[in-house]
Amino acid sequence: MRNVLALLSLLAAVATFTSGCAGPEEKMGRGLRNTGEIVRLGDMRSTVEQTSVWYGPDVGVTAGVIRGADRSLERTGLGLVEIITAPFPPYHPIFTKYVPPEPGYPDSYVPGLPDDSTFHTDTYIGFSGGEEASFIPGSRFDVYDH
Protein backbone atom coordinates (compact mmCIF):
# COMPACT_ATOMS: atom_id res chain seq x y z
CA MET A 1 0.00 0.00 0.00
CA ARG A 2 2.87 2.36 0.76
CA ASN A 3 4.31 1.86 -2.72
CA VAL A 4 0.96 2.67 -4.31
CA LEU A 5 0.60 5.88 -2.24
CA ALA A 6 4.15 6.94 -3.07
CA LEU A 7 3.54 6.31 -6.77
CA LEU A 8 0.25 8.20 -6.72
CA SER A 9 1.79 11.16 -4.91
CA LEU A 10 4.65 11.24 -7.42
CA LEU A 11 2.20 11.18 -10.33
CA ALA A 12 0.14 13.94 -8.68
CA ALA A 13 3.26 16.09 -8.29
CA VAL A 14 4.25 15.55 -11.93
CA ALA A 15 0.70 16.36 -13.07
CA THR A 16 0.68 19.52 -10.95
CA PHE A 17 3.95 20.75 -12.40
CA THR A 18 3.18 19.98 -16.04
CA SER A 19 -0.56 20.35 -16.59
CA GLY A 20 -2.18 23.46 -17.96
CA CYS A 21 1.03 25.39 -18.46
CA ALA A 22 2.58 26.26 -21.77
CA GLY A 23 5.89 27.08 -20.06
CA PRO A 24 7.03 23.52 -19.31
CA GLU A 25 6.00 22.35 -22.79
CA GLU A 26 7.91 25.18 -24.42
CA LYS A 27 10.98 24.60 -22.27
CA MET A 28 10.93 20.84 -22.92
CA GLY A 29 10.59 21.38 -26.69
CA ARG A 30 13.44 23.88 -26.71
CA GLY A 31 15.55 21.42 -24.69
CA LEU A 32 14.85 18.60 -27.14
CA ARG A 33 15.72 20.82 -30.13
CA ASN A 34 18.96 21.91 -28.48
CA THR A 35 19.89 18.37 -27.44
CA GLY A 36 19.54 17.24 -31.05
CA GLU A 37 22.28 19.68 -32.04
CA ILE A 38 24.96 17.04 -31.42
CA VAL A 39 23.49 15.05 -34.32
CA ARG A 40 22.36 17.93 -36.55
CA LEU A 41 25.65 19.93 -36.33
CA GLY A 42 24.04 23.18 -37.54
CA ASP A 43 26.22 25.32 -35.26
CA MET A 44 29.28 23.43 -36.46
CA ARG A 45 28.51 24.12 -40.12
CA SER A 46 27.60 27.73 -39.40
CA THR A 47 30.78 28.39 -37.43
CA VAL A 48 33.03 26.78 -40.03
CA GLU A 49 31.31 28.79 -42.77
CA GLN A 50 31.58 32.13 -40.93
CA THR A 51 35.16 31.54 -39.82
CA SER A 52 36.13 30.66 -43.40
CA VAL A 53 34.46 33.82 -44.72
CA TRP A 54 36.04 36.19 -42.19
CA TYR A 55 39.47 34.63 -41.61
CA GLY A 56 40.11 32.41 -44.61
CA PRO A 57 39.51 28.77 -45.50
CA ASP A 58 42.57 27.42 -43.70
CA VAL A 59 41.46 28.99 -40.42
CA GLY A 60 37.89 27.84 -41.05
CA VAL A 61 38.81 24.17 -41.31
CA THR A 62 41.04 24.28 -38.22
CA ALA A 63 39.89 26.82 -35.63
CA GLY A 64 36.36 26.90 -37.08
CA VAL A 65 35.90 23.17 -36.55
CA ILE A 66 37.11 23.41 -32.95
CA ARG A 67 34.93 26.45 -32.25
CA GLY A 68 31.96 24.73 -33.92
CA ALA A 69 32.41 21.56 -31.87
CA ASP A 70 32.55 23.70 -28.75
CA ARG A 71 29.32 25.50 -29.69
CA SER A 72 27.58 22.21 -30.49
CA LEU A 73 28.55 20.77 -27.11
CA GLU A 74 27.41 23.98 -25.37
CA ARG A 75 24.02 23.78 -27.05
CA THR A 76 23.65 20.06 -26.27
CA GLY A 77 24.49 20.65 -22.61
CA LEU A 78 22.03 23.53 -22.44
CA GLY A 79 19.38 21.29 -23.96
CA LEU A 80 19.99 18.62 -21.34
CA VAL A 81 19.69 21.22 -18.56
CA GLU A 82 16.40 22.48 -20.03
CA ILE A 83 15.00 18.94 -20.30
CA ILE A 84 15.88 18.13 -16.69
CA THR A 85 14.52 21.44 -15.34
CA ALA A 86 11.45 21.62 -17.63
CA PRO A 87 8.85 21.36 -14.83
CA PHE A 88 10.45 24.18 -12.83
CA PRO A 89 10.58 27.94 -13.52
CA PRO A 90 12.01 30.00 -15.20
CA TYR A 91 10.46 28.98 -18.50
CA HIS A 92 12.14 31.60 -20.69
CA PRO A 93 15.41 30.77 -22.49
CA ILE A 94 18.43 30.87 -20.19
CA PHE A 95 22.08 31.72 -20.89
CA THR A 96 21.08 33.74 -23.99
CA LYS A 97 24.15 35.92 -23.50
CA TYR A 98 26.32 32.92 -24.41
CA VAL A 99 24.11 30.63 -26.53
CA PRO A 100 21.24 31.82 -28.78
CA PRO A 101 17.91 30.28 -27.70
CA GLU A 102 17.23 28.51 -31.02
CA PRO A 103 19.62 26.32 -33.03
CA GLY A 104 21.27 28.04 -35.98
CA TYR A 105 21.83 27.17 -39.59
CA PRO A 106 24.60 28.21 -41.96
CA ASP A 107 23.81 31.32 -43.99
CA SER A 108 24.13 29.27 -47.17
CA TYR A 109 21.25 26.97 -46.16
CA VAL A 110 17.77 27.68 -44.84
CA PRO A 111 15.68 24.56 -44.17
CA GLY A 112 12.27 24.11 -45.71
CA LEU A 113 9.38 21.75 -45.17
CA PRO A 114 9.89 18.10 -46.11
CA ASP A 115 8.15 16.72 -49.18
CA ASP A 116 5.48 14.85 -47.26
CA SER A 117 1.71 14.65 -47.38
CA THR A 118 1.60 16.10 -43.87
CA PHE A 119 2.97 19.44 -45.02
CA HIS A 120 2.03 19.40 -48.72
CA THR A 121 -1.58 18.35 -48.90
CA ASP A 122 -1.84 18.52 -52.69
CA THR A 123 0.10 15.28 -53.21
CA TYR A 124 -3.09 13.35 -53.96
CA ILE A 125 -3.42 15.16 -57.29
CA GLY A 126 0.09 14.24 -58.35
CA PHE A 127 2.33 17.22 -57.68
CA SER A 128 4.02 18.73 -54.70
CA GLY A 129 7.33 20.22 -53.70
CA GLY A 130 9.65 20.38 -50.74
CA GLU A 131 12.86 18.91 -49.45
CA GLU A 132 13.76 15.29 -49.97
CA ALA A 133 15.94 13.65 -47.33
CA SER A 134 15.91 16.69 -45.03
CA PHE A 135 16.71 14.35 -42.15
CA ILE A 136 20.25 13.95 -43.56
CA PRO A 137 22.55 16.79 -42.40
CA GLY A 138 23.77 18.79 -45.38
CA SER A 139 21.15 17.45 -47.80
CA ARG A 140 20.08 20.24 -50.11
CA PHE A 141 18.01 18.35 -52.67
CA ASP A 142 14.74 20.23 -53.15
CA VAL A 143 11.91 19.12 -55.40
CA TYR A 144 10.98 21.85 -57.91
CA ASP A 145 13.84 24.06 -56.73
CA HIS A 146 14.03 27.17 -58.88
For the chain, what's the residue count? Answer: 146
Are residues 49 and 82 located together in one domain of the fold? yes
Same-domain check for residues 89 and 56: yes
Q: How many domains does the chain have?
A: 2
Written as tens digits, the pLDDT of the chain (146 aa) is 667 778 878 777 776 666 556 788 889 999 999 999 889 888 898 999 999 999 999 999 999 999 999 999 999 999 999 999 988 888 888 888 888 888 878 877 777 766 666 666 665 565 555 566 666 666 666 655 55
In terms of domains, do 120 and 67 share one?
Answer: no
Q: Is residue 3 in a domain?
A: no
User: For residues 88 and 144, what is the distance between their CA atoms, to the nearest angstrom?
Assistant: 45
Q: Is residue 31 included in any domain, yes or no?
A: yes
Kindly list the distances between the CA atom of residue 143 and the CA atoms of 2, 106, 116, in Å, as whole numbers in the listed order. Answer: 59, 21, 11
Rounded to whole angstroms, the Cα distance separating 47 from 70 reads: 10
Residue 125 has a pLDDT of 60
Query: What sign does the dihedral 42-119-92-39 (CA atoms) show?
Result: negative
Asked, for residue 77, whether it belongs to a domain, the answer is: yes
What pTM was estimated for this model as a whole?
A: 0.65
- Give me Rg for the CA atoms of the chain: 20
